[in-house]
Amino acid sequence: MHSRRILVVGQTPPPYGGQAVMIERLLQGSYKNAKLFHVRMAFAKDMDDMGRFRPGKLLHLLSLIAQIVRGRFLDGADILYFPPSGPDLGPLLRDLAILVPTRWLFRKTIFHFHAAGTSEIFSRLPIWLKPFYWLGYGRPDLGIRLSEFNPNDPEFLNANRSVIVPNGIEDDFSEEVDFSQEGTATVNVLFVGLLTESKGVFVLVEAAHLLKQRGVRVSVTMVGKFASEDVRTRLAALVESYGLSDDVEFTGVLTGEAKFRRFYSADIFCFPTFFESESFGLVVAEGMQFKLPVVVSRWRGVQSVVRDGETGYLVPPHDATAVADCLQILVEDPGLRLRMGERGREVFLNEYTLPRFQQRMDECFRDL
């Protein structure tokens, strides 16, 4: 029944990044057309450890290669599934150190581009590294993108076949929650994600400041970890300088029911990202799941989740005025918020649930 034996090489939580979460959900699925085996990447202990060099990471690399060889011959997996890095040199070198010595062992290769932009770094590579780039990445049998708006990495790498498979998440929403008990008189705008400049957190604070100047009051809740102490200091200083200390809350990382409560109590979800490797934005689908209208950057694959004018609004990256304008429209029209939230949940249920994702992946495995 499981005619294809696939070795999935990738990180699973912790840390809880979008790629790690989706690989975990991939592995949890039940497939008609494939049996999955897993070799876990564990280069990062937490978000602070990502992208940093430690001697222990070299030992893990050697162990990882040995586990891949074991999976190929002892488990009989002859198809390799691998999520390439985005346009960053450090992760790319890690990928090549894994792929160059192992990829040739497998009959077929699947690249799943959770981090978009692998193709964009090629022109910046030194000449000596480019042949290794092609040895590691060139001519996969299947390239999977998350959105048509992401860079066409499979085409650049001369993939035999390319498909688009949007991410999907569990449906944690319950109609039984009493929103009237959760909400407040002030409209609450929710952000969830890593608190770093490229995720748009400074843009959101600027937008809140513009709204305050217009006499439109909102509260802003930011759920997530600060990317660095520098970001924490600068963002706190900006909030204080604008007189928003009572209106902006930083909760830190929340999971499970604690995070869900923030979605239930919010009125609008805002994600003004311009992160270079952004490919989908699971948190946007989460916002739609919880019937929130969304205000999101017109940026890479994130924009594909939003139906502009139906489930929320798309805004130009870096544009605090555009974010403020869209938030103001939603703040001043509760009926519009309700209609967009309902429509967003419809789209979520049709396109972005976990069973839908796993079904699409099974179809990919079938067609290998």
pLDDT (tens digit, 9 = 90+) per residue, 288-339? 999 999 999 999 999 999 999 999 999 999 999 999 999 999 999 999 999 9
Residue 97 is part of a domain; what is its CATH number?
3.40.50
Please indicate, yes or no, if residue 174 is contained in any of the structural domains: no
Please provide residue 284's backbone torsions phi and psi, each rounded to the nearest 5 degrees.
-70, -45
Tell whether 206 and 317 lie within a shared domain. yes
Tell whether 77 and 128 lie within a shared domain. yes
Tell whether 155 and 261 lie within a shared domain. no
Residue 258 is part of a domain; what is its CATH number?
3.40.50.2000
- What is the chain's length? 368
Tell whether 125 and 224 lie within a shared domain. no
Q: pLDDT under 50 in the chain at which residues?
A: 49, 180-183
8 A C-beta contact, residue 271 and residue 283: yes
Please indicate, yes or no, if residue 131 is contained in any of the structural domains: yes
Q: What is the DSSP letter of 295?
A: E
Please tell me the total count of domains within the chain.
2
Please indicate, yes or no, if residue 173 is contained in any of the structural domains: no
Tell whether 139 and 249 lie within a shared domain. no
Report pLDDT for 18. 85
Tell whether 204 and 329 lie within a shared domain. yes
Tell whether 140 and 205 lie within a shared domain. no
Give the containing element (helix H, strand E) for 154.
helix 153-156
Please provide residue 90's backbone torsions phi and psi, each rounded to the nearest 5 degrees.
-60, -55
Q: How far apart are CA 253 and CA 250, in angstroms?
A: 9
Domain region containing 252: 179-351
Report pLDDT for 180. 47
**Which tokens is 331 given?**
């703040």
DSSP-based three-state secondary structure for 207: helix
Please indicate, yes or no, if residue 94 is contained in any of the structural domains: yes
Report pLDDT for 53. 55
Express each pLDDT in 206-237 by its tens digit. 999 999 999 999 999 999 999 999 999 999 99
**Which tokens is 312 given?**
């929320």
Tell whether 131 and 265 lie within a shared domain. no
Please indicate, yes or no, if residue 225 is contained in any of the structural domains: yes
Please indicate, yes or no, if residue 132 is contained in any of the structural domains: yes
Please indicate, yes or no, if residue 204 is contained in any of the structural domains: yes
Tell whether 134 and 267 lie within a shared domain. no
According to DSSP, the residues that pair with 198 across neighbouring strands are none
